[in-house]
Structures are given as C-alpha cells and as structure tokens.
C-alpha cells in the first residue's frame, strides 16, 4: 500500500481534501463511464487526487479491471486512499467476475426458522465480500445495511436489509461485520439512525421519520448498537429528518444525531461518513459547500460524493479561516481516518499477478452463492409447464439497465427452449394496462397461449417505489380466470410473493427467490421444471 505523508507536512488545503470521497468509474476509460453525471473524468479525478482527495467510491467494470483501476488511483494519489464500493450483495453485484450473492434479506427470512445457520451464512457472506474486495484493491466495504425493513412499502431499503425486526438484523449484521473485517477491510454500518421505516427515497427527496427516542431504542438503534459492539470501523449517516430528535436538520447535518446520539450515547469512536451528498435529500436544499460544512460541523469525518468537490474544499477552508470550524476538529477527523487506514490489509502488490487476476471467486465462494440461493428459494406446485407456443411475460424496472438479465439469462433462454416467446414490459414500454380493475392486463395486446409470468420487483435507489402500486395480484387472478397462467416466478421482494401466493392453485408451479441474478433464475426455474439443457446460450454476435 502507498504510504501516507505525515499530515504536518501537508498544506491545510491538502488536509481538508483528505476528508472527501469522490466517485469514479471502475472502468479505465472515460468513454466507459456508465453515469457521467456522477463519475468524474480521469483528468479531473487525477487533479483532485493530486491535490490530496483521500477517498474514491467505484462502480462498474470487471473484477480484473477493478484491480488495475485501484492500483492506478493509488499511483495518481501518491498516498494511501480509502477505496470503497457499495457491495451490499457481494463484490459481483458491482463488478462482473466476482461473487454476486442474494440480497441480505434472504438470510433475514431464513433466521426465523434456523437462526444458527443464518448467522453462520452471514459470517461467510462477510468473509466472501471482504476477501474479494481486498483482492481487487478495495479496502472499504460500504455494507452492511443496518436498517430494519419493517415497512413493506419502503422503496429503497427493501431486500437490502438483513432483517424485518431488530433482533434478526442485529445478529446478522454483527456476523457479517466480523467476517468482512477479518479479511482486512473496513465495514460500514448504514444508514444511521435507521432508514427502514420510510416510504420515500432519500435519493429523490428528504424522508421524514416521525418516531421518538423510545421507539428508536426499540427498533432502529439495536442493529447499530450490535454493529458498534462488533467493532464496525465506519458508520454512514442517513439523509432523514427525525423531528423528535432535531426538527430543523436531517441526521447527516445534525449534531444532535451524530455528535450527541452516535458519538456520546452509543459510544462510537470510528469514522463517520455521510451518505452521498449529491442525493436530492441534501442537494435540493443546501449548496455543495454549505452541505459539506454543515455535515462536518455535525460530526461527520468524511464527505461522500459532494456535489462539487472544489466548492466543498473551499467552503471548509473558509470555515476554518473564520473559526467556524476549529483546527482541533480537523485534526480529530484526520486522526480517525489514519487509524482506519492502519487497520486495512494490503492487496496483492502486483495487480497483474495470478493471485490478483485468477481465482477471484473460489470454489467455496461459488458453493456459498448456490447455498444462499437454495436456502432462500420458496416454491409450490408440480414442476412442468404445458408445451408451447406460449408467452414468457417478464416485468423489469428497465429493459435497458438490468445487469441480471443479459441476452443469455436463464429467464430468457429456458422458456424459449420450451416454446415460450419473451415479452418484456417496463416503464418505457407501451402500457400493458387495460384500465379495468378486474382485468388490468390488456391481454388482447399479447400473444396467445399459456403464460409464464416472471416478475423482477424489488426496492432500489431512484425507483421511488417498492412495486406495490402495480396490480400483479389482480393480473394473476385475471390469468387464472382465463385459464392462461402456466407458471409464476417472482424475483426480489418477499412482499409481492406473500400477496400473490394465497391466490394460486396448489398444483400451479410457482416459486420465489430474493435474488435476481442469473444463478437465482437458474435454480428457481429448475423448481418450475425448466431445467438447463447443457450450456445456456445460443449464437454469438
């Protein structure tokens, strides 16, 4: 790992820059950026790192490319960086070639029937995520989500949570943290003090959590206490307004939440990082500079994705010059950052060495991914669909942005081999709805024959809902009444499965899995009698 100069040798601007975590693509080239609105071009990234910016959050690219990218960033910086990613569902969730695991709520559901096995698997989940992150040059895992998802309408947490009650969530996040940090990376408990009981998304607006301290102690805070007791290195703030704690400022900007509650009362002494400051809950109300100063004043040590990195640095320098922020406060945060970096293990020294580029996913981790899918699968009915021609009706959020549904995905290929032609619907498609409550699906616009209905529905950032507003239970009733429903597959939200399952005839083949990735599709479709026929796939381009 690159050594970090003594901060006494740094200019004040370089010291302030250490507090920022900016975003870049995991791809090496500017033209490969998926989200140029948030991902800095290389020239700007190199300039900011040269000026002392101390952290980078990455997204996109293959696992092997990520290893080259993190090494490149360290060279540009000339100092030890905090290198992180939102890998709540395994490193493969963001970087192809690593393990993509079912979302954490899969183990939350298992915990109800087999808590010991769920805790053991949560530990293995953490070890897998931490080992692969370190191998690829990351030293900071922005997980686990410690929010208790006790609100089925939550549009953004949903299956990202480890549990629907505080005991389950607390036990599982503690196991994950112990596993991940044993691999030499930092964990991150988020989104403090708890984003689970909200019905709006802080990426889009400022959620309001109307609970008082007694309720927070009973539901929201226990998983964070468990994370702190497990030694979690960092805590991420939530962009939430809790008027019973602070009627004026969201948690990210509130000394009453961060300094008083998190630091003094819960006793957390590690790094506090904001959630992304470009999110609308903050960016729509405060400028990039003032948001950075307010968050730092409130008790945050690191500022994730300020809307304008230069404006944030300049505002912090002005606050230091005016005495609004003390030099002692800056020293405090820099010291916490240095202590956190001292905890991490170095990746392989050569990013082109076999250790770095081969065996990213071990055989044990491959087996873990399969076990996690298998234990979270629920199914009913007799396997087997009537012969085609039929219709494979697939609902997704977007046909243009769904990494779980590539051309050769089992959800597309296996029904096709059985004569079921795919029809994908999303928010950009011509409306599939008839406008009639009793028969909401416009079946006259669809191909004839038996229907395999596959629903990819879950809460996700920027989506704005958990999918509950769509009338899928009524669609199932409609297709059953017409004698056309041949099978049902639900990937993602358990709440949709719970709503539809009682409507199904006992013999109808149907299954649910929290995971949406191709592995989850393959194992679920096995349950429906749609087995893979040798190699999945067809002609290349």
Which amino acids are annotated catalytic? Answer: 203, 275
Structure tokens at 157: 């947490």
Distance (Å, whole) CA 256 – CA 298: 8
C-alpha 332/C-alpha 230 separation (Å) is 23
First to last CA, the chain: 41
Rounded distance, CA 132 to CA 99, Å? 8
Q: Which of 39, 50, 42 is nearest to 74 (CA)?
A: 50
The tokens for 128 are 């897998």
CA distance 486 to 453: 8
Calpha distance 503→200 (Å, rounded): 29
Token pair for 428: 């950009």
The residues near 430 (Cβ < 8 Å, ≥ 6 apart) are 445
Report the alpha-carbon distance of residue 230 to residue 227 in Å, rounded: 5
> Rounded CA gap, 512 and 521, in Å?
10
- Other C-beta atoms within 10 Å of 280: how many? 15
Q: What is the DSSP letter of 344?
A: P
Tokens 């006992």: give the residue: 506
Q: What angle do CA 372, 373, 375 make, to 5 degrees?
A: 65
Q: Token match 């300094």: residue?
A: 259
Minimal CA–CA distance to 304: which of 281, 340, 275? Answer: 275
- E-only strand ranges, 227-281: 234-237, 271-273
- Is 9 exposed, middle or buried, given 0-12, 13-18 or 19+ CB atoms closer than 10 A? exposed
Q: Are 34 and 69 in contact (CB under 8 A)?
A: no
Nearest 5 degrees, angle CA 189-CA 256-CA 168?
A: 30
């Amino acid at each position: 790992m690159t050594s970090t100069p003594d901060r006494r040798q740094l200019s004040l601007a370089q010291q302030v820059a250490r507090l920022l975590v900016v975003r870049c693509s995991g791809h090496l080239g500017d033209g490969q950026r998926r989200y140029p609105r948030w991902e800095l071009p290389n020239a700007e990234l190199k300039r900011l790192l040269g000026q002392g910016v101390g952290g980078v959050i990455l997204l996109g690219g293959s696992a092997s490319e990520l290893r080259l990218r993190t090494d490149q960033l360290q060279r540009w910086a000339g100092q030890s960086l905090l290198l992180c990613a939102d890998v709540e569902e395994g490193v493969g969730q963001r970087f192809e070639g690593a393990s993509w695991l079912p979302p954490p709520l899969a183990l939350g559901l298992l915990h109800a029937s087999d808590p010991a096995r769920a805790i053991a698997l949560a530990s293995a989940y953490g070890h897998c995520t931490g080992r692969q992150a370190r191998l690829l040059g990351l030293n900071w895992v922005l997980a686990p989500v410690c929010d208790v998802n006790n609100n089925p309408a939550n549009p953004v947490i949903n299956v990202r949570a480890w549990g629907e009650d505080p005991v389950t969530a607390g036990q599982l996040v503690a196991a994950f943290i112990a596993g991940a940090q044993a691999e030499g990376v930092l964990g991150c408990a988020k989104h403090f003090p708890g984003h689970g009981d909200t019905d709006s998304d802080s990426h889009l607006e400022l959620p309001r959590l109307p609970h008082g301290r007694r309720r927070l102690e009973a539901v929201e805070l226990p998983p964070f206490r468990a994370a702190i007791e497990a030694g979690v290195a960092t805590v991420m703030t939530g962009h939430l307004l809790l008027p019973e704690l602070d009627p004026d400022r969201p948690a990210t900007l509130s000394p009453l939440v961060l300094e008083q509650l998190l630091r003094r009362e819960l006793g957390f002494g590690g790094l506090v990082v904001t959630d992304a400051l470009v999110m609308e809950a903050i960016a729509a109300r405060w400028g990039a500079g003032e948001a950075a100063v307010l968050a730092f004043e409130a008790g945050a040590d690191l500022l994730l994705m300020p809307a304008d990195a230069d404006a944030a640095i300049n505002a912090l320098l002005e606050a230091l010059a005016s005495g609004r922020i003390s030099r002692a406060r800056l020293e405090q945060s820099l010291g916490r950052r240095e202590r956190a970096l001292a905890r991490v293990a170095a990746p392989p020294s050569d990013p082109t060495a076999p250790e770095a580029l081969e065996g990213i996913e071990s055989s044990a981790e491959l087996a873990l991914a399969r076990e996690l899918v298998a234990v979270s699968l629920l199914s009913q009915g007799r396997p087997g669909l009537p012969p085609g021609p039929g219709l494979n009706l697939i609902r997704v959020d977007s046909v243009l942005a769904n990494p779980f549904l590539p051309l050769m995905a089992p959800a597309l290929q296996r029904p096709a081999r059985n004569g079921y032609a795919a029809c994908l619907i999303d928010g950009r498609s011509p409306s599939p709805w008839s406008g009639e409550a009793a028969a909401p699906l416009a079946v006259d616009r669809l191909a004839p024959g038996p229907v395999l209905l596959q629903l990819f529905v879950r809460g996700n950032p920027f989506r704005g809902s958990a999918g509950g507003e769509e009338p899928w239970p009524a669609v199932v009733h409609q297709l059953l009444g017409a004698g056309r429903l041949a099978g049902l597959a639900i990937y993602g939200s358990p709440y949709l499965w719970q709503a539809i399952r009682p409507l199904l005839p006992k013999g109808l083949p149907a299954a649910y899995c929290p995971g949406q990735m191709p592995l989850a599709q393959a194992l679920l479709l096995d349950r429906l009698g749609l087995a893979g026929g040798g190699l999945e796939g067809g002609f290349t381009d």
